[in-house]
Amino acid sequence: MQSGINYVDKSYSLTENKNYRLSIQVSLNGFSFCIYDTDKHKHVVLKNFSYSENIADLNLWAKEINRIAESITDDIAVVTTPVKCLFISRKNVLIPKKIFSINNIKSYLSFFFQFDELDEIYYRYVPEIEGYCCFALPSPVVSKIISRFGKSDFYTQTYQVIHRAKVYGTGMNVVFCDNFMDISIFKSNKLVLNNSFEIFDIRDIIYFISAIRDKFDVGNIPVYMSGNISNSEIKKLKKFFPSIIQEQNRKISLLLGSEISAKYYNLLSLQECE
């Protein structure tokens, strides 16, 4: 098991009673967590761990989560509020409030994705679009997180993309995951598009963004980018899309650099979700 990022602010304390908030990010390619100090209004811990082997099934995934959790439990101060956990997953759909039914969530998801018998169903109301984000998470992994970190609130990157995109009023919000990207477009505070696209290299990114800008006539709106994309790739994209803005936590960026800050922006901003 390898730690990729290991940032701990000098003000962080395991013994003093402080108002800390713990956020976790889980994907098939790694486990990350950060701790936010609500008194000082800054992140005091950011750590990332790679798995010791490639994830071949849910049991192995849960085992790796458990192994990482065991190794870091003593490094995490007591957190009294629910842990916020961000799953990077494509298994989510948006359903308008007018047609949403709790009894039909499995049908919504099964229509778009292969539903595993060990998947657990979740949903969250998204006031920005007056609709619901419905998603499925693997039960063995969810159980390990709850057993190790206590009560947890679960999200996916889609929920957060929508939550943030509305703030811009008009703009394209793009979040890059390991082999796909999510794109949301808002025009005059109204959701125009939200979709996920499989990508293999920067040519796919250029193609999808170009096609969407032409289709929805949004060639001049700003493009906000975050997630797993390098600074060199951002530079290449700016040749095609000059209005790109790389989202990052400014305080962390000064310490760890813009690329790391942008990569973990969704985790770092998770505490903003309600």
Enclosing H/E stretch for 210: helix 202-215
Residues 48/29, Cβ–Cβ less than 8 Å: no
Two tokens, residue 194? 């939200």
Q: Give the C-alpha separation, 113 to 115, whole Å.
A: 6
Instruction: Tell me the average pLDDT across 57-80.
Output: 89
Structure tokens at 193: 């598009």
Q: How far apart are CA 113 and CA 242, in angstroms?
A: 35
Q: Which of 162, 201, 195 is nearest to 178 (CA)?
A: 201
Question: Region 230-259: what's the mean pLDDT?
Answer: 91
Supply the pLDDT for residue 251: 85
pLDDT of the residue at 166: 67
Give the predicted TM-score (pTM) of the model: 0.91
pLDDT, position 55:
86
Percent of the chain with pLDDT over 70: 97
Note the maximum CA span of the chain.
55
The SS3 of residue 232 is helix
Q: Which sign, positive or negative, has the C-alpha torsion 218, 219, 220, 223?
A: positive
What pLDDT band is residue 274 in, cutting at 50, 70 and 90?
A: low
* 163-272 has CATH 3.30.420.260 classification: yes
- Residues 135-179 pLDDT 10s: 999 999 999 999 999 999 999 999 888 877 767 788 999 999 989
Confidence of residue 188 (pLDDT cuts 50, 70, 90): confident
What does the pLDDT read at residue 2? 42
pLDDT at residue 3 above 60?
no
**Where along the chain do its domains lie?**
163-272
Token pair for residue 47? 């750590």
Residue 153, phi then psi, degrees to nearest 5: -105, 125
The residue among 126, 135, 192 whose CA lies nearest residue 164 is 126
Q: Are 40 and 7 in contact (CB under 8 A)?
A: no
Q: What is the mean pLDDT of residues 210-215?
A: 93
Average model confidence (pLDDT) for the chain? 90
Neighbours of 8 (CB within 10 A): 12
Residue 1 pLDDT:
37
- Measured distance CA(213)–CA(239) in Å, rounded: 15
